[in-house]
Structure 1
Amino acid sequence: KTKPVGVIRGVYDAGHRCFGENYVQELIDKAPQLPEDIEWHFIGNLQSNKAKALLAGVPSLDMVESVDDEKIANRLDRVVADLGRRPLKVLVQVNTSGEESKFGVDPSGCVGLAKHVKLSCPNLVFSGLMTIGMLDYSSTPENFKVYSEAQI
């Protein structure tokens, strides 16, 4: 993420095909300058009002890794359908650390959100969960134990 097109091109030329970006406009600007067979992942917080621009601007967008509520899931589902593109893979983002500065559904709501995506969003493919632990995750492994405690 946040790397210049030239750096991405060098990594692509070395054989890599999957890249991530966390700013909508940066991804929309970069994607047309690079080969079409790149599988792009959007890894940042996505505002629902930017979903259409992202999906229309990046036809090779393979996954959105940051679905954290039903509103964004529903918006992505509608936009995928409106554009007639192939189903979009998504990860449900869970805030396991409880930090207010991080996005994500509360662990107690992640199963419900995953079910919503799977059952109510036919143009999305539920592909798993993602989280970002606290900066010093080595001393706070409980951030990741939350998954098993939530019976996911």
Structure 2
Amino acid sequence: MSEIAANLSRIREQIKIACQKCGRDPKTVRLVAVSKKKPGQVISEAYAAGQQIFGESYVQEFTQKVEALQLPLEWHFIGGLQGNKVKYLRGKTALIHSVDRYSLAREISSQWGKIDATAQILLQFNLGRETSKSGADETEALDLARKICALPHLQVRGLMTLPPYYDDPEEVRPYFRRLRQLGESLAAENLPNLQMQELSMGMSHDFSVAIEEGATLVRVGTAIFGARD
């Protein structure tokens, strides 16, 4: 077994344990292998070990990998996204995690409309209000969701956050809980084109806590592929 295959096996077991701890079905949690800045070879290796979903953060790198690999992967875009780059993602991503403003959502709607398709998106919130990170302010959540949900060619599937980093995952727990609660409050509004099915939260060091707080998508890179250059 390769190192990547062994890492994936260990992470899947950790996901199973976290789900058992909080009474969840492990099938309700999906692993997103964060492959940014990693070569196609290791993506192929992870795919051979049964990994299906891969997350990329840079548009040019993403498009190059999609063309080079030609594998039946489920690609998610998880990084900050500029409106003028959206056209390069059109029809190639199963889910965009990082929609944090109306202008970006409008451009995604416009681009997917050109192929008569519906883009699946998550709304990203910056719960720690860190200037170095993307994400909308949670106080604007309802107004933002209402405006975005009124756009055609979009389906809002849930929420995403990238909380402040703490060595102790328990210190991150309140941010995961707040995202879940924010999702519950938005779901109660019964907005069109909103299905609060996904919570994208938790990374290599804290995904078990995120699962306990309701994560359905955990974004893991380092624990699978090792540290990025």
TM-score range, shorter chain: 0.7 to 0.9
Q: Which residue of 1 aligns with 2:214?
A: none
Contact 1:37–1:60 (CA under 8 A) maintained in structure 2: no
Structure 1 residue 109: deviation in Å? 1.2
Matched, 1:41 2:72: no
Q: Is 1:132 aligned to residue 167 of structure 2?
A: no
Q: Deviations over 1:57-90 (max 9, x none)?
A: xx431111000000000000001112x1531110
Provide the TM-score with structure 1 as the length reference: 0.87
In the alignment, is residue 102 of structure 1 matched against residue 133 of structure 2? yes
Distance 1:49 1:149 in 2: 29
Aligned partners of 2:57 and 2:80 also within 8 Å: yes
Identity across matched positions, percent: 33
How far did 1:37 drift? Answer: 2.2
Residue 9 (1) aligns with residue 49 (2): no
Higher relative contact order (CA 8 A, sep 6+): 2
Greater Rg by CA: 2
User: Is residue 2:103 matched to residue 1:71?
Assistant: yes
**5+ unaligned residues in a row in structure 2: which ranges?**
1-34, 187-229
What's the offset of the Cα at 1:145? 4.1
8 Å contact from structure 1 (residues 96, 144) kept in 2: no
- Whether the 8 Å contact between 1:107 and 1:146 is mirrored in structure 2 is no
Q: Which runs of 4+ in 1 moved over 6 A?
A: none
State the 1:9 CA deviation: 0.7
How far apart, CA to CA, are the structure 2 residues paired with 1:36 and 1:85? 24
Corresponding residue SS for 1:49 = helix
Q: Under a length normalisation based on structure 2, what TM-score does the superposition of the two structures give? A: 0.59
Count of aligned pairs: 147
Measure the CA separation in 2 of the matches of 1:69 and 1:95: 12
User: What residue number does 1:86 align with?
Assistant: 117
> Structure 1 regions of 5+ residues with no counterpart?
none
Cα separation, 2, equivalents of 1:142 and 1:46: 26
Letter in 2 for 1:89: Q
Match of 1:26?
A: 61
| Pick aligned residue for 1:144 from 128, 151, 176 | 176
1: CA distance, partners of 2:182 / 2:104: 26
- The answer on whether the counterparts of 2:59 and 2:85 sit within 8 Å (CA) in structure 1 is yes
Gap change, CA 1:115 and 1:11, over 3 Å in 2: same
3-state SS in 2 of match to 1:41: strand
Residue number in structure 2 paired with 1:60: 92
